[in-house]
Amino acid sequence: MECTCPCLAATKVHQFPQSTSKSSWISLSIVFLILAVVLSAGGIWAWCLYLERRPSPEPVRNILLGVLAMATVAEYSLIYLDLLHWWMAIVLFICNFWGFLDALLRFPVLHDFDTAFSVKQVVLLCAKMASLALGFTSFRDYQVWFFFALGFNVVTLPLLYLLALPIDEGEQEQRLFSSGVVDVDIAWRLCELVGNRQKQRECMLGCTCRLRLASCWIASKNPAASALLVRFKPSYSHALRKGRQV
């Protein structure tokens, strides 16, 4: 006998849209994951083509720093959107700052697998992955984001870094590429920086020079950025004209 109760009928009507919405979300998540894999593979392929031009370590380091900055902003956006718990902000800061950033600042210095640097990187990477597995507010609903973060942190970013290292170069070329690079742990450098005013001034001067060079490089590639930079910093106009003449 067919039930004609209005409450049961309303319940049956609302069950179908919920299941449809859930299946649509799963399908969309799978499509997003596939697209992310394709984009990562395309990015690695483009990175290999760029490295075949044998660029100097400085632009390579700057590109990797830009990738790390965008990844960090994306990860903190997950916290802002309540996909990750608030305590993940501490984990992300430690792992990205003491781990990836330290490696990029010491690029292209090579380290053996049995050094403290390599052990630290592996431990921090494992800690970040374990924290991400526990850090999502609902792992079942956001597991696609977890697998995307897993692939980027374990495969994409380390592979970009390893491919850029001068592993195939001789010892003389490796020393030449690493000249001027401070191969000291970033945590120790900060401890020295806190109690040394001379190093504080040197650090500030170095950051200012890096910012000036990066601004001039971006402005030389983009006329709109060049006009904006000259408007706010007229002193940069001479450097930009000199760069165009070169």
- Which residues is 136 bridged to in the sheet? 84
Rounded to a whole number of angstroms, the CA Rg of the chain reads 24
Q: State the residue range of the domain holding 229.
A: 195-246
Token pair of 189 as six digits: 């450098």
Largest CA distance in the chain: 89
If DSSP codes are grouped into helix, strand and coil, which group holds residue 136?
A: strand
**What confidence tier does 86 reach under pLDDT thresholds 50, 70, 90?**
very high
Residue 149 lies inside a defined structural domain of this protein? yes
Would you say residue 90 has pLDDT above 90? yes
CA pair distance 178, 60, nearest whole angstrom: 13
Q: Are residues 204 and 124 in the same domain?
A: no
CA pair distance 124, 91, nearest whole angstrom: 9
Residue 230 lies inside a defined structural domain of this protein? yes
Residue 60 lies inside a defined structural domain of this protein? yes
Residue 2 lies inside a defined structural domain of this protein? no
Query: Please, where are the H alpha helices in the chain?
Result: 6-51, 57-80, 88-93, 102-105, 116-135, 143-151, 157-164, 171-177, 186-194, 197-221, 223-232, 237-245
Instruction: State pLDDT tens for residues 169-194.
Output: 777 777 777 777 888 888 888 887 77
Instruction: State pLDDT tens for residues 221-239.
Output: 667 766 776 676 676 666 5
Q: Are residues 75 and 130 in the same domain?
A: yes
Residue 40 lies inside a defined structural domain of this protein? yes
Query: Please, where are the H alpha helices in 81-196?
Result: 88-93, 102-105, 116-135, 143-151, 157-164, 171-177, 186-194
Cβ burial, residue 92 (10 Å; 0-12/13-18/19+): buried
**Domain final residue pick, 140, 158, 183:** 183
Q: Are residues 135 and 201 in the same domain?
A: no
Q: Are residues 102 and 45 in the same domain?
A: yes
Q: Are residues 29 and 124 in the same domain?
A: yes
CA pair distance 106, 102, nearest whole angstrom: 6
Among 216, 62, 75, 54, CA closest to 150: 75
Token pair of 17 as six digits: 């849209």
Q: Check: pTM over 0.85? Answer yes or no.
A: no
Would you say residue 16 has pLDDT above 50? no
Q: How many domains does the chain have?
A: 2
Q: Are residues 43 and 139 in the same domain?
A: yes
Q: Are residues 213 and 179 in the same domain?
A: no
**What confidence tier does 91 reach under pLDDT thresholds 50, 70, 90?**
very high
The least confident of 33-42, 46-55, 78-87, 127-136 is 33-42
Q: Are residues 41 and 140 in the same domain?
A: yes
Residue 139 lies inside a defined structural domain of this protein? yes
Q: Are residues 239 and 122 in the same domain?
A: no
Residue 14 lies inside a defined structural domain of this protein? no
Q: Are residues 124 and 26 in the same domain?
A: yes
Q: Are residues 133 and 220 in the same domain?
A: no
Residue 99 lies inside a defined structural domain of this protein? yes
Instruction: State pLDDT tens for residues 38-51.
Output: 877 888 899 989 98
String of b and e for 57-89 (b: at least 16 CB within 10 Å)? Answer: beebbebbbebbeebbeebbebbeeebbeeebe
Q: Are residues 130 and 227 in the same domain?
A: no
